[in-house]
Structure 1
Amino acid sequence: MQRHQHDAKAAVIGGAGGFFAGLTGVGGGAVLVPLLVGLLRMGQHRAHGTSLAVIAMSAFAGSLTYARTTSIDWRLAGAVLPSALAGAAIGATFVHRIPAAQLRGLFGGFLMLVAARMMLPEGGTVAAADGLWRLLLGGGIGLAGGMLSGALGVGGGAIFVPALVLLFGESQHAAQGTSLVVILPTAVAGTVTHWRHRSVDGRTAVWLGAGAVPSSAAGAAVASSLRADVLQRGFAAVLLAVGLQMLRSGWRAARTPAAQVEGAPTHDAG
């Protein structure tokens, strides 16, 4: 009975994360990781790895919906993807050696800065990147998003979406669709690395995915019917809330005894 309750909770959590992923173009890990830790009592590192497995599933469903309802910049996705794949593998490998509290705190601060910028009135974007500059800028964005994806168990869309809007002048809808296309293989790469470190709960991931896949498509369909400015400000509000939560949780974790923090990876891998 307890196992059935666990599976049912996982499906509901997956549904929440999947809908958020489809609606905002973010992988859903910002919802999944806190819920896995808080409701399923999963260790932090294992929650990151399991979240990435689910993100890959929900990103697949969401990207298909975006491909049917809005434009996706496939060339830009191609510029971002290679370094994102490398970054995901690097992040998933080294997260087991770096205190998660420090990563979460820094990332939380970054999210809050990005959210503040996106809430400001439009002041134009950086001059349209093209040619070699476009490739270099896309590579840098991909590497940063991929590393944070692999390390924190998030999709990387929290970096990809605002960067595509602010630096490349993409519309909010196109940025979210392009982000999901990049997130899909990036999450797979991170999941494989986490699996090798035994930090993925396969059974839980299956039930999470059962809820995430249909709800991700539903979220993407809802997003396509919203005005871009409303969607952008809603996305910024979510980033602000998630950033604040990450700062708070990172600060609390940093205040725990060192031995307790260092023991987390060993506990998660069990």
Structure 2
Amino acid sequence: MKMTLTTLLLLIIIGLCAGVLSGLIGIGGGIIMVPMFVLFLGISQHNAQGLSLAVMLPPVTLLAVYNYHKGGEIDWKIAIIVSLMFIIGGYFGSKLALQIDQRVLKKIFGGLMLIVALKLLFSK
């Protein structure tokens, strides 16, 4: 991808939005970054998902986790169990995603986002 000033500004905006929303309401950066990468930068679905995962590596997440830990808001037993399963699931999920056509993957991603959005909007 050619790094124009517009591209650089979009990357800065995407990163800031994803970081603020992730820290503010605990959403995964992928919910914000993947659609923005695809829609605003024309990045392929596969590439957008890979970029999202690369950005969420521990140094980025650690600062937000530190603040929640300091506030007493993390049950470490749950976090450890889910983290271990997340690592295993992430490995197999990424292998599977790379075998799926990106048009189908976009539909799966969009459908999941729609279901989550509807659940959040209509739950009590």
Q: Same fold by TM (over 0.5)?
A: yes
Letter in 1 for 2:106: Q
Letter in 1 for 2:102: A
Superposed displacement of residue 220, structure 1: 0.6
1:167 aligns with 2:66: no
Q: Over aligned residues, Cα RMSD in angstroms?
A: 1.6
Superposed counterparts of 1:41-52, under 5 Å: none
Q: Work out which of the two has the higher radius of gyration on C-alpha atoms and give 1 or 2.
A: 1
- Which structure has more relative contact order (CA 8 Å, sep 6+)? It is 1
Residue ranges of structure 2 left out of the alignment (5+ in a row): none
Residue ranges of structure 1 left out of the alignment (5+ in a row): 1-72, 74-128, 253-270
- Equivalent residue for 1:155, pick from 25, 28, 31: 28
4+ runs deviating over 4 angstroms:
none
Separation in 2, partners of 1:180, 1:210: 16
1:200 aligns with 2:78: no
Superposed displacement of residue 143, structure 1: 1.1
Letter in 2 for 1:151: L
Identity %: 36
Letter in 2 for 1:198: G
Aligned match of 2:83: 209
Q: Normalising by structure 1, what TM-score?
A: 0.43
Q: Are the counterparts in 2 of residues 157 and 179 from structure 1 also a CA contact under 8 Å? A: yes
Superposed CA offset, 1:7-36 (max 9, x none) = xxxxxxxxxxxxxxxxxxxxxxxxxxxxxx
Superposed CA offset, 1:224-249 (max 9, x none) = 10001000111100010011111123
Separation in 1, partners of 2:103, 2:10: 25
What is the total number of aligned residue pairs between the two structures?
123
Superposed counterparts of 1:76-95, under 5 Å: none
Aligned match of 1:229: 103
